[in-house]
Structure 1
Amino acid sequence: MELILKQDIKNLGEKDDVVNVKPGYGRNFLIPKGYATLATGSAKKVLAENLKQAAFKQDKIKKDADAIAGKLEGVKLSIGAKAGESGKIFGSVNTIQIADALKKEGFDVDRRRITFETEPKFVGEYIANLNLHKEVKVKVPFEVVAE
Protein backbone atom coordinates (compact mmCIF):
# COMPACT_ATOMS: atom_id res chain seq x y z
CA MET A 1 0.00 0.00 0.00
CA GLU A 2 1.45 3.33 -1.06
CA LEU A 3 0.92 6.30 1.30
CA ILE A 4 2.01 9.94 1.61
CA LEU A 5 3.11 10.81 5.15
CA LYS A 6 1.62 13.93 6.73
CA GLN A 7 4.23 14.06 9.51
CA ASP A 8 7.53 12.48 10.53
CA ILE A 9 7.20 8.89 11.73
CA LYS A 10 10.14 7.21 13.39
CA ASN A 11 11.58 4.27 11.43
CA LEU A 12 9.25 4.93 8.49
CA GLY A 13 9.91 8.32 6.94
CA GLU A 14 9.60 12.07 7.08
CA LYS A 15 6.76 14.41 6.21
CA ASP A 16 5.78 14.36 2.50
CA ASP A 17 7.59 11.06 1.82
CA VAL A 18 5.84 8.46 -0.33
CA VAL A 19 6.23 5.11 1.44
CA ASN A 20 5.10 1.53 0.90
CA VAL A 21 3.62 -0.18 3.95
CA LYS A 22 1.57 -3.31 4.60
CA PRO A 23 -2.14 -2.71 3.99
CA GLY A 24 -3.17 -3.41 7.59
CA TYR A 25 -0.65 -0.93 9.02
CA GLY A 26 -1.78 1.79 6.65
CA ARG A 27 -5.52 1.13 6.81
CA ASN A 28 -5.75 0.47 10.58
CA PHE A 29 -3.15 2.82 12.03
CA LEU A 30 -1.62 5.46 9.76
CA ILE A 31 -4.72 6.69 7.93
CA PRO A 32 -7.18 6.73 10.91
CA LYS A 33 -4.65 8.56 13.13
CA GLY A 34 -4.15 11.17 10.39
CA TYR A 35 -0.47 10.34 9.91
CA ALA A 36 -0.83 9.54 6.21
CA THR A 37 -3.11 9.66 3.16
CA LEU A 38 -3.45 7.37 0.17
CA ALA A 39 -0.94 8.09 -2.61
CA THR A 40 -3.34 8.41 -5.52
CA GLY A 41 -2.34 10.02 -8.80
CA SER A 42 -3.97 13.35 -7.93
CA ALA A 43 -2.49 13.32 -4.41
CA LYS A 44 0.99 12.82 -5.89
CA LYS A 45 0.47 15.80 -8.22
CA VAL A 46 -0.65 17.98 -5.31
CA LEU A 47 2.37 16.80 -3.29
CA ALA A 48 4.76 17.64 -6.16
CA GLU A 49 3.29 21.15 -6.44
CA ASN A 50 3.46 21.68 -2.67
CA LEU A 51 7.10 20.55 -2.59
CA LYS A 52 7.91 22.91 -5.47
CA GLN A 53 6.31 25.86 -3.65
CA ALA A 54 7.97 24.91 -0.36
CA ALA A 55 11.38 24.77 -2.08
CA PHE A 56 10.79 28.25 -3.50
CA LYS A 57 9.84 29.60 -0.04
CA GLN A 58 12.83 27.92 1.61
CA ASP A 59 15.13 29.43 -1.01
CA LYS A 60 13.76 32.90 -0.27
CA ILE A 61 14.10 32.38 3.51
CA LYS A 62 17.71 31.21 3.04
CA LYS A 63 18.55 34.28 0.92
CA ASP A 64 17.07 36.55 3.61
CA ALA A 65 19.07 34.71 6.29
CA ASP A 66 22.27 35.11 4.23
CA ALA A 67 21.61 38.85 3.90
CA ILE A 68 21.09 39.23 7.66
CA ALA A 69 24.21 37.13 8.34
CA GLY A 70 26.29 39.41 6.15
CA LYS A 71 25.11 42.47 8.05
CA LEU A 72 25.72 40.83 11.45
CA GLU A 73 29.43 40.18 10.79
CA GLY A 74 30.71 43.41 12.35
CA VAL A 75 28.16 43.73 15.16
CA LYS A 76 29.28 43.55 18.78
CA LEU A 77 26.71 43.84 21.54
CA SER A 78 26.98 45.16 25.08
CA ILE A 79 24.64 43.77 27.72
CA GLY A 80 24.32 45.39 31.12
CA ALA A 81 23.82 43.22 34.20
CA LYS A 82 24.04 43.68 37.94
CA ALA A 83 27.26 42.16 39.22
CA GLY A 84 29.10 41.76 42.50
CA GLU A 85 32.61 42.97 43.29
CA SER A 86 34.12 39.69 42.09
CA GLY A 87 32.44 40.12 38.68
CA LYS A 88 29.82 37.42 39.20
CA ILE A 89 26.45 38.33 37.67
CA PHE A 90 23.33 38.35 39.85
CA GLY A 91 20.79 36.33 37.90
CA SER A 92 21.78 35.60 34.32
CA VAL A 93 22.03 37.01 30.82
CA ASN A 94 19.47 35.25 28.66
CA THR A 95 18.47 35.06 25.03
CA ILE A 96 15.71 37.64 25.50
CA GLN A 97 18.30 40.28 26.38
CA ILE A 98 20.39 39.35 23.33
CA ALA A 99 17.30 39.54 21.08
CA ASP A 100 16.42 42.97 22.52
CA ALA A 101 19.97 44.23 21.97
CA LEU A 102 19.87 42.96 18.37
CA LYS A 103 16.51 44.68 17.87
CA LYS A 104 18.07 47.99 19.01
CA GLU A 105 20.77 47.44 16.37
CA GLY A 106 18.07 46.93 13.74
CA PHE A 107 17.99 43.12 13.50
CA ASP A 108 14.82 41.19 14.28
CA VAL A 109 15.95 37.73 15.44
CA ASP A 110 13.70 35.31 17.32
CA ARG A 111 15.05 34.57 20.79
CA ARG A 112 14.50 30.82 20.29
CA ARG A 113 17.13 30.87 17.55
CA ILE A 114 19.83 32.15 19.93
CA THR A 115 22.13 29.88 21.96
CA PHE A 116 25.29 30.46 23.97
CA GLU A 117 28.61 28.65 23.63
CA THR A 118 29.16 29.14 27.38
CA GLU A 119 26.56 30.49 29.77
CA PRO A 120 27.39 34.05 30.87
CA LYS A 121 27.98 33.90 34.62
CA PHE A 122 30.64 36.60 34.99
CA VAL A 123 31.35 40.03 33.52
CA GLY A 124 33.32 39.56 30.29
CA GLU A 125 33.08 38.63 26.63
CA TYR A 126 31.01 35.76 25.27
CA ILE A 127 29.74 34.38 21.96
CA ALA A 128 26.07 34.02 20.98
CA ASN A 129 25.19 31.56 18.20
CA LEU A 130 22.34 32.69 15.94
CA ASN A 131 20.67 29.92 13.93
CA LEU A 132 19.03 32.01 11.22
CA HIS A 133 18.41 29.00 8.98
CA LYS A 134 19.37 25.34 9.16
CA GLU A 135 22.29 26.13 6.84
CA VAL A 136 23.04 29.70 8.02
CA LYS A 137 24.60 30.12 11.45
CA VAL A 138 26.28 33.29 12.75
CA LYS A 139 28.44 33.88 15.81
CA VAL A 140 27.87 37.29 17.41
CA PRO A 141 30.24 38.44 20.16
CA PHE A 142 28.76 40.24 23.11
CA GLU A 143 30.15 41.75 26.25
CA VAL A 144 28.53 41.59 29.67
CA VAL A 145 29.25 44.78 31.60
CA ALA A 146 28.44 45.64 35.22
CA GLU A 147 25.73 48.25 35.69
Structure 2
Amino acid sequence: MKLILNADVPNLGAPGDIVEVKDGYGRNYLLPRNLAVVATRGAEKQVEQIRRAQKTREIRDLGHAQQVDNQLKELNVTVSAKAGDNGRLFGSITPTNVVDAVRAAGGPTLDKRSVDVPGQIKTIGKHSVQVRLHPDVTTDLPIAVVTN
Protein backbone atom coordinates (compact mmCIF):
# COMPACT_ATOMS: atom_id res chain seq x y z
CA MET A 1 0.00 0.00 0.00
CA LYS A 2 1.44 3.37 -1.01
CA LEU A 3 0.84 6.17 1.50
CA ILE A 4 1.84 9.79 2.10
CA LEU A 5 2.74 10.52 5.73
CA ASN A 6 1.02 13.42 7.51
CA ALA A 7 3.09 13.18 10.69
CA ASP A 8 6.45 11.90 11.88
CA VAL A 9 6.24 8.11 12.30
CA PRO A 10 9.23 6.52 14.07
CA ASN A 11 11.20 4.07 11.91
CA LEU A 12 9.10 4.96 8.85
CA GLY A 13 9.44 8.59 7.79
CA ALA A 14 8.67 12.26 8.15
CA PRO A 15 5.66 14.29 6.98
CA GLY A 16 5.44 14.41 3.20
CA ASP A 17 7.33 11.16 2.62
CA ILE A 18 5.79 8.65 0.23
CA VAL A 19 6.18 5.19 1.74
CA GLU A 20 5.23 1.65 0.80
CA VAL A 21 3.82 -0.33 3.75
CA LYS A 22 1.94 -3.57 4.23
CA ASP A 23 -1.82 -3.27 3.74
CA GLY A 24 -2.73 -4.18 7.32
CA TYR A 25 -0.33 -1.67 8.87
CA GLY A 26 -1.69 1.08 6.64
CA ARG A 27 -5.37 0.24 7.07
CA ASN A 28 -5.34 -0.61 10.77
CA TYR A 29 -2.77 1.82 12.19
CA LEU A 30 -1.68 4.70 9.94
CA LEU A 31 -4.96 5.66 8.27
CA PRO A 32 -7.28 5.55 11.34
CA ARG A 33 -4.86 7.72 13.34
CA ASN A 34 -4.54 10.25 10.48
CA LEU A 35 -0.80 9.63 10.31
CA ALA A 36 -1.03 9.06 6.54
CA VAL A 37 -3.29 9.36 3.49
CA VAL A 38 -3.54 7.09 0.48
CA ALA A 39 -1.16 8.22 -2.27
CA THR A 40 -3.27 9.35 -5.21
CA ARG A 41 -2.23 11.67 -8.04
CA GLY A 42 -3.93 14.62 -6.35
CA ALA A 43 -2.38 13.84 -2.99
CA GLU A 44 1.08 13.46 -4.53
CA LYS A 45 0.80 17.04 -5.81
CA GLN A 46 0.26 18.20 -2.22
CA VAL A 47 3.46 16.51 -1.03
CA GLU A 48 5.56 19.54 -1.92
CA GLN A 49 3.27 21.80 0.12
CA ILE A 50 3.54 19.46 3.11
CA ARG A 51 7.33 19.40 2.82
CA ARG A 52 7.58 23.20 2.58
CA ALA A 53 5.35 23.66 5.63
CA GLN A 54 7.35 21.05 7.54
CA LYS A 55 10.64 22.74 6.65
CA THR A 56 9.46 26.14 7.94
CA ARG A 57 8.20 24.55 11.18
CA GLU A 58 11.40 22.53 11.56
CA ILE A 59 13.64 25.60 11.46
CA ARG A 60 11.46 27.32 14.02
CA ASP A 61 11.25 24.16 16.13
CA LEU A 62 15.03 23.61 16.20
CA GLY A 63 15.60 26.79 18.20
CA HIS A 64 12.65 26.01 20.42
CA ALA A 65 13.89 22.44 20.92
CA GLN A 66 17.26 23.76 22.09
CA GLN A 67 15.52 26.08 24.56
CA VAL A 68 13.45 23.19 25.91
CA ASP A 69 16.63 21.08 26.14
CA ASN A 70 18.26 23.77 28.31
CA GLN A 71 15.15 23.93 30.51
CA LEU A 72 15.16 20.14 30.99
CA LYS A 73 18.84 20.10 31.98
CA GLU A 74 18.10 22.50 34.86
CA LEU A 75 15.23 20.43 36.31
CA ASN A 76 15.26 17.95 39.19
CA VAL A 77 12.55 15.51 38.15
CA THR A 78 11.12 13.21 40.82
CA VAL A 79 8.58 10.48 40.07
CA SER A 80 6.73 8.99 43.03
CA ALA A 81 5.32 5.49 42.91
CA LYS A 82 4.22 2.74 45.26
CA ALA A 83 6.90 0.22 46.13
CA GLY A 84 7.40 -2.82 48.31
CA ASP A 85 9.85 -3.22 51.19
CA ASN A 86 12.70 -4.33 48.91
CA GLY A 87 12.47 -1.21 46.69
CA ARG A 88 10.67 -2.90 43.81
CA LEU A 89 7.78 -0.91 42.33
CA PHE A 90 4.21 -2.15 42.04
CA GLY A 91 4.14 -1.64 38.26
CA SER A 92 6.61 0.43 36.26
CA ILE A 93 7.35 4.01 35.30
CA THR A 94 5.72 4.97 31.98
CA PRO A 95 6.33 7.91 29.64
CA THR A 96 3.10 9.47 30.95
CA ASN A 97 4.50 9.39 34.51
CA VAL A 98 7.68 11.12 33.30
CA VAL A 99 5.73 13.82 31.41
CA ASP A 100 3.57 14.50 34.48
CA ALA A 101 6.66 14.70 36.72
CA VAL A 102 8.38 17.15 34.37
CA ARG A 103 5.29 19.35 34.36
CA ALA A 104 5.06 19.14 38.19
CA ALA A 105 8.73 20.14 38.48
CA GLY A 106 7.98 23.34 36.56
CA GLY A 107 9.25 22.14 33.20
CA PRO A 108 7.69 22.41 29.75
CA THR A 109 4.83 20.28 28.53
CA LEU A 110 6.21 17.31 26.60
CA ASP A 111 4.55 14.83 24.30
CA LYS A 112 4.55 11.38 25.88
CA ARG A 113 5.45 9.85 22.49
CA SER A 114 8.74 11.75 22.56
CA VAL A 115 9.85 10.13 25.85
CA ASP A 116 11.76 6.82 25.62
CA VAL A 117 11.86 4.84 28.85
CA PRO A 118 14.64 2.25 28.44
CA GLY A 119 13.22 -1.20 29.12
CA GLN A 120 11.09 -0.86 32.20
CA ILE A 121 11.90 1.15 35.30
CA LYS A 122 10.76 -1.05 38.18
CA THR A 123 13.06 -0.01 41.04
CA ILE A 124 13.53 2.98 43.31
CA GLY A 125 16.57 5.14 42.60
CA LYS A 126 18.11 7.29 39.90
CA HIS A 127 17.39 6.47 36.26
CA SER A 128 17.79 8.17 32.90
CA VAL A 129 15.20 8.52 30.14
CA GLN A 130 15.70 9.85 26.65
CA VAL A 131 13.59 12.71 25.26
CA ARG A 132 13.41 13.35 21.50
CA LEU A 133 12.63 17.03 21.08
CA HIS A 134 13.58 17.31 17.42
CA PRO A 135 15.30 15.05 14.87
CA ASP A 136 18.55 16.89 15.68
CA VAL A 137 17.99 17.37 19.44
CA THR A 138 17.80 14.42 21.82
CA THR A 139 18.53 14.75 25.52
CA ASP A 140 18.99 12.39 28.46
CA LEU A 141 16.78 13.37 31.37
CA PRO A 142 17.81 12.10 34.82
CA ILE A 143 14.85 11.16 37.03
CA ALA A 144 14.66 10.05 40.63
CA VAL A 145 12.08 7.41 41.51
CA VAL A 146 10.88 7.63 45.13
CA THR A 147 8.13 5.96 47.15
CA ASN A 148 4.83 7.61 47.97
- Per the normalisation by structure 1, the TM-score is 0.67
What is the one-letter code of the residue matched to 1:7? Answer: I
Q: Residue type of the partner of 2:138?
A: K
Identity of aligned residues (%): 21
Query: How many equivalent pairs are there?
Result: 119
Residues 18-97 of structure 1 mapped to structure 2, 5 A cutoff = 34-37=38-41, 51-97=51-97
User: Could you tell me how far 1:76 is from its partner in structure 2?
Assistant: 2.3
Q: Deviations over 1:39-85 (max 9, x none)?
A: xxxx5xx7656543431111111221111011211222111111111
Partner of 1:139: 140
Task: Confirm or deny that 1:7 pairs with 2:4.
Answer: yes
Task: Say whether the 8 Å CA contact 1:99–1:108 is kept in structure 2.
Answer: yes
Give 1 or 2: higher strand fraction.
2
- What runs of 5+ residues in structure 2 fail to find an aligned partner? 6-13, 19-36
Structure 1 pair 99–63 and aligned structure 2 pair: CA distance change class (3 A): same
| Conserved? CA contact 1:95–1:115, under 8 Å | yes
Q: Counterpart amino acid of 1:114?
A: V
In 2, Cα distance between the equivalents of 1:47 and 1:146? 50
Distance 2:58 2:92 in 1: 35
Distance 1:53 1:92, change over 3 A: closer
Supply the distance in 2 between the matched residues of 1:122 and 1:131 (Cα, whole angstroms).
24
Structure ID, larger Rg: 1
Using a 3 Å threshold, how does the CA distance of structure 1 residues 36 and 78 change in structure 2: closer, same or farther? same
